[in-house]
Amino acid sequence: VNNNGVVSFGTMVPEFTPQPFPLPGHRPFVAPYWADVDTRLGGDVFYRQSRDPQLLARLAQDLAPAVPPGDPPPQPTWAFVATWDRVAYFGAASDKVNTFQAVLASDGVSCFVLLNYGDLQWTTGIANQGDPHTGLGGIPAQAGFNSGDDVHYYNVPGSRTPAVQSLSHRSNLGVPGRWAFRVDHFEATEGPPETP
């Protein structure tokens, strides 16, 4: 779990400047909100693995709308939860904070990524030309996932634009602030967003 709003596999992601997917270098990771997070100025990052039946039952319910009609409903047996709670941005001269979460879930065969968004008050740190008082401007955050194979990736609409701040009001499931993707077999690839 990287401080900058990324869960990576096999190697860390030290960059605080978000880039659209796919990324060069075969680096698989999930980015609920890849941006210049600075927990020294506020907030915490928590993560855990779980096989708790109550958590898994709730997760199965949350993921059910992500499965096409006729497919078996998700029944995860394992989950990994990473939460960025009320985190500040680099160079913040305000008390603006963001809360977001990535949940990875699997039953050993099917795998899902669930992205949850609470209050999003900023998009950019000052190292990415963001305003120190508003946390806006410059190069806004990236959201989505990158499989590392240059073929399977997804840029959540609005990534790297000011619209990324509205992720808590939008959804691909009909539940504001919740985005879910089945990632063990991926059927659609969205190209990189236009550079603002």
- The answer as to whether 193 is a domain residue is no
- The answer as to whether 138 is a domain residue is yes
In a 10 Å sphere around its CB, with 0-12 CB exposed, 13-18 middle and 19+ buried, how is residue 189 labelled?
middle
- The answer as to whether 196 is a domain residue is no
- The answer as to whether 29 is a domain residue is yes
What's the domain count of the chain?
A: 1
Model pLDDT for residues 141-165, shown as the tens digit of each residue = 999 999 888 888 899 999 999 999 9
Please state, for a pLDDT cut of 70, what percent of the chain lies above it.
Answer: 94
- The answer as to whether 143 is a domain residue is yes
- The answer as to whether 190 is a domain residue is no
- The answer as to whether 192 is a domain residue is no
pTM: 0.92
* Residues in contact with 128: Cβ distance below 8 Å, sequence separation at least 6, in sequence order: 16, 17, 18, 35, 36, 138, 139
- The answer as to whether 188 is a domain residue is no
User: Structural domain of residue 147, as residue ranges?
Assistant: 7-182
What integer pLDDT is reported at residue 187 of this predicted model?
52
